Structure 1
Amino acid sequence: MRTWLPIVLGLLLFSAAARAEAPCTPLVLTAVTISEETTGFSIDAEYPVLCRTEANPVIRDFVSNTVFDLKKLDPAHDMQFFPHKYELITRYAVWPSPGARFVSVKLHVMVYSGGAHPNNWPMTWVFDMTDGSQVPLDRLFTDPEKALPAVSAACRKALIPSLGQMYLKDMLDPGLEPIEDNFERFALTVEGVAFFFAPYQVAPYAAGEQVVTIPYADLAPLFSPDVARALGL
């Protein structure tokens, strides 16, 4: 018992410090659910409402526009010519960064509008909870053009063994080309920067969504000074 006491106290102190530094709490106030069943459509969307109100319209508008885009494909769809409903599902995850200044939101989006299988993709945002502003790659890194080759190399090192027989060089190479479009879906988690890759971006559909988390220490020299300070680096 004595051996574990300092560890437990340390964890409690760390947790309390993180809470004290959070610009607002609780980070997630509630969740919004959009549920609709009609003859031709099935909508089951969920998204979080954060304690920083400036961030919420960004998430809300994305979900609303995604629902609208699905419905406008065929507003009169009644399964007469295509015997399946068009379907939309979203589910969310939220991560605070170390110190909780930044909060990352990820939506898993699934849309079925015909074809052999649904389309799935990740949508992410990183919000600065001091003012609700977004943190894109060019704010995360001092120089994205310099940082992205390092990010790409780290992701390649992780993905080749994890994909196993699903590894296809012709898919991985363009999907990890060090350009912003390939790495714009990311989250700042407790463990590091998590980069998300939709099906087909780096591997076949059957491999599913891929995620690589790079420890903060590995990217520390590349972060902007403001982000590095906020992460305690």
Structure 2
Amino acid sequence: MHARNLIIALLIGAAPAPQAASFDCGKAATWVEKAICRDAGLSALDETMAERFRTAQESAADPTAMLTEQRAWLKRRNACRNTTCLHERYEARIQSLKASLAGTSDPSTPEVSEGRITDSGPSHSLSVLYPVFADPGLAEVNREVRRFVDSLVQPFRDELPNQAQADGDLEMPPWSLQVTYAPPYIAPHYIAIDFNGYDFRGGAHGMPIIAPLVLKRPSGQRLSSTDLFVPGSDWLGFLSDYCYDALKDRDFASADDDWLRSGTAPKTENYQWLFPGPKGLTVTFPPYMVAPYAAGPQSVLIPYARLSGRLSPELFTP
């Protein structure tokens, strides 16, 4: 094997497949499952679909019927023989689940449509989805969502002119930016949107996108981690202890306790990825923060009851 081809093989072999949310890519057996695991965009769609299905089933009047419908859709998905078909199946299913959720939600919940940014060429693809709220009173929220999404897209576009130089002589896969989101959590005083996806710009592998966005209602003010807590409540110390205890027994943790302690240390930069959802506060650590890349992102859900006295009453009082 020529040296250059050997390097390419090593790079491709070293790149972990994107992890789909609804099944273990390490056990992917069918062509459809393998295609989803190889394609960052499909993997992101699968994650969104799985999350929306779980939410829809939890709120469905007949969860069994919802499960039967999902199984029928899986059969249609598995009949696909190309990735275009898979994209179409997923996008249609996501829209169907969104409609189902809209039909069972609280009438006071703002209606949400979907914005989209797409761009593609011979050497790159870009697909970004984001929520758009129909309520005119949330216009500032929509503006801040779009500003946030643009901040995810612009670095990718800025770097495209350097793609040829970055890849060099290696026959690398096209660069790809895929961003989607789980159904927004709409609380009385804030809206939380969990953006996720995959960003590949050459090299051995891309990086998962972990980008929770929390906005105050109705001003659209972007809330930082610090804004979620009562000043002086030692929230960093509490999160540090809680997350370390939650992660220390996971499979990856035994390899390097110092790494885990450093990543969960009570520093603001370690706790940028907070999502205040319906069941509690989810703390996410990106790859390399508490564990090797192969371990993937690590998340810890902290029930709100455990955060009593620390959360901002302005945001978390009904």
Task: Quickly name the TM-score band, shorter chain normalised.
Answer: 0.7 to 0.9
For the residues of structure 2 that align with 1:208 and 1:60, how far apart are their CA atoms? 28
**Quick one: which of 196, 209, 213 aligns to 1:108?**
196
Matching of residue 73 in structure 1 with residue 156 in structure 2: no
- Residue segments in structure 1 that go unaligned for 5+ positions in a row: 1-7, 9-17
Match of 2:218 in 1: 130
Measured after TM superposition, the shift of residue 77 of structure 1 is: 4.1
Matching of residue 62 in structure 1 with residue 151 in structure 2: no
Helix, strand or coil at the partner of 2:132: strand
Q: Which has the higher helix share?
A: 2
- What are the residue-to-residue correspondences of 1:187-206 with 2, within 5 Å? 187-206=275-294
Give me the identity figure in percent.
25
Runs of 4+ in 1 over 3 A off after TM superposition: 76-82
Which deviations, in whole Å up to 9, do the C-alpha atoms of 1:32-73 show, x marking residues without a partner? 222222022111211112342212233322332332312322
Q: Give the aligned CA root-mean-square deviation in angstroms.
A: 2.5
Matching of residue 210 in structure 1 with residue 309 in structure 2: no
Q: In structure 2, do the counterparts of structure 1 residues 129 and 166 end up closer, same or farther at CA, with 3 Å as the change threshold?
A: same
Match of 1:3 in 2: none
For the residues of structure 1 that align with 2:240 and 2:123, how far apart are their CA atoms? 42
Helix, strand or coil at the partner of 2:152: helix
Match of 1:32 in 2: 115
Residues 198, 209 of structure 2: 8 Å contact kept: yes
Match of 2:243 in 1: 155
For the residues of structure 1 that align with 2:127 and 2:218, how far apart are their CA atoms? 31
Measured after TM superposition, the shift of residue 125 of structure 1 is: 1.4
For the residues of structure 2 that align with 1:76 and 1:214, how far apart are their CA atoms? 42
**Quick one: which of 131, 134, 142 aligns to 1:48?**
131
User: Relative contact order, CA 8 A, sep 6+: which one is greater?
Assistant: 1
Q: TM-score, normalised by structure 1?
A: 0.78
For the residues of structure 1 that align with 2:153 and 2:297, how far apart are their CA atoms? 21
For the residues of structure 2 that align with 1:223 and 1:165, how far apart are their CA atoms? 30
Helix, strand or coil at the partner of 1:143: coil
For the residues of structure 2 that align with 1:164 and 1:70, how far apart are their CA atoms? 33
Which deviations, in whole Å up to 9, do the C-alpha atoms of 1:11-32 show, x marking residues without a partner? xxxxxxx947x5x612xx2112
Q: Which has the higher strand share?
A: 1
Measured after TM superposition, the shift of residue 213 of structure 1 is: 1.0
Match of 1:179 in 2: 267
- Residue segments in structure 2 that go unaligned for 5+ positions in a row: 1-60, 62-104
Measured after TM superposition, the shift of residue 121 of structure 1 is: 3.0
